Amino acid sequence: MGRLFGTDGVRGRANADLTPELALSVAVAAAQTLAESDRGRAPLAVVGRDTRASGEMLEAAVVAGLTSAGATVIRVGVLPTPAVAFLTAEAKADLGVMLSASHNPMPDNGIKLFAAGGHKLPDEIELRIEAAIEANGTTAWKRPVGAGVGRVHDLLDGASHYVQHVAGTTAHRLDGIKVVVDCANGAAAEVAPAIYREAGAEVIAIHAEPDGLNINDECGSNHIETLRQAVVEHGAHLGIAHDGDADRCMAVTAEGDEVDGDQVMAILALAMREAGTLTGDTLVATVMSNLGLRLAMSAAGIRLVETKVGDRYVLEELRASGLALGGEQSGHIVMPAYATTGDGVLTGLHLMARMAATGRSLTELAGVITKLPQVLINVPVGDRTIGAAAPAVRAEVERAEAELGETGRVLLRPSGTEPLVRVMVEAATEQAARDIAERIAAQVRTASPA
């Protein structure tokens, strides 16, 4: 069996790649691997989902798998991924399961797993779960019977617990701030507007009517065009865009300009250093972050630590080094003092709190970074590994790096969640970056046609 887990759990086309049978197998293996048997009680698991129609089917399979392995299940319904992580910790559960494909289109779905405390799984635990799935496919797992079969309970006030928690993470009121919130027709449709209103903001919610099929459909953090228009039309101070499971936060200025995760991280890093809460004056980011972030942080006396792409690797570095802030250009921002994983709603709240505390516009705050032109091309491929490692592709990358010298950089990596190779180029001008990126992308397409 090849690697089942990508950079953010198990993903695939629901009912084709990610079937109910696979979901059940993952649930059983996770319960076997993660549940603690020495507590004198049945293992406890929290299960949530986003608004995808297929989530109902997969939730049933996961709950069946967990209970067949003897786990007690707390079903929390539709909530953001960080809310499920929070409730896993609050309930002192052994395991958390979130059914979501995050920013992916509706036909996809995914299974994200959390260990006790609401933390994402390290690679070695994922490998153990994969081994357990393979073993369960050849030998029947030990199934409890009678009173040993797990039970299911519905938590009806999970959303209010999460709203109260996030709203209580800042003392700064947002009175006077008007914000347009794009909820991506996803899991944040109710809780994000509620949290921002609780803090005092005037909230205009868009794409907040999920029907099971419209999640991430031309909306949310990957499609901010309608958010830009709405901010300008409503005369709002800013816009906030979440993705389908609300672990991302992208922003838009009053003028309609995009503010990405790099800029948000810079704003929060400076605010936290000023407050004395930026541990070690250090920010954690991935190799995808713009060179402009590195330069801005260096000028401000803030150290930048780089990780591989994926918020799980940012989280690992934050935990290992006891640091207070990290994230990704894509809008995954992690603040370990308040959350065990990336939380887009929490990020949006603290971004607006900085605006309220300083009286400065988002445009002014984001101006701390001068971003180097960056072009990212997602190349569909038949095989991600071949597309990224073929000799002709590597030769084109080396040629590009020689051209750029110290004035830019090239990053080539296979996606961890989709059949894509990501080609990223930074250069002194956008045209130069685009020309080089297109050359490399052409070689990738030739090496591994989709």
| Sheet strand arrangement including 44-49 | 10-13, 108-115, 95-99, 44-49, 72-78, 152-154
Q: Is 243 within any annotated ligand binding site? A: yes
Alpha-carbon gap, residue 52 to 75, rounded angstroms? 16
Q: What is the DSSP string of 325-383?
A: -EE-TTS-EE-TTT-SS--HHHHHHHHHHHHHHHT--HHHHHTT--PPPEEEEEEE-S-
Angle between helices 430-447 and 391-404 (to 10 degrees): 170
Q: Is 102 within any annotated ligand binding site? A: yes
Strands 95-99 and 108-115: antiparallel
Residue 34 in tokens: 């993660």
**Catalytic member of 25, 54, 102, 448:** 102
Alpha-carbon gap, residue 428 to 407, rounded angstroms? 6
Alpha-carbon gap, residue 243 to 348, rounded angstroms? 12
Q: At residue 333, what are phi and psi to the nearest 5 degrees?
A: -120, 130
Known active-site residue 37: no
256 sits in the region (left: phi over 0; alpha: psi -120 to 50; else beta) called left
Alpha-carbon gap, residue 385 to 415, rounded angstroms? 10
Angle between helices 261-275 and 291-299 (to 10 degrees): 20
Judged on CB neighbours under 10 Å (0-12, 13-18, 19+), 147 is exposed
Q: Is 157 within any annotated ligand binding site? A: no
Catalytic site positions: 102
Sequence ranges of the binding site for Mg(2+): 102, 243, 245, 247
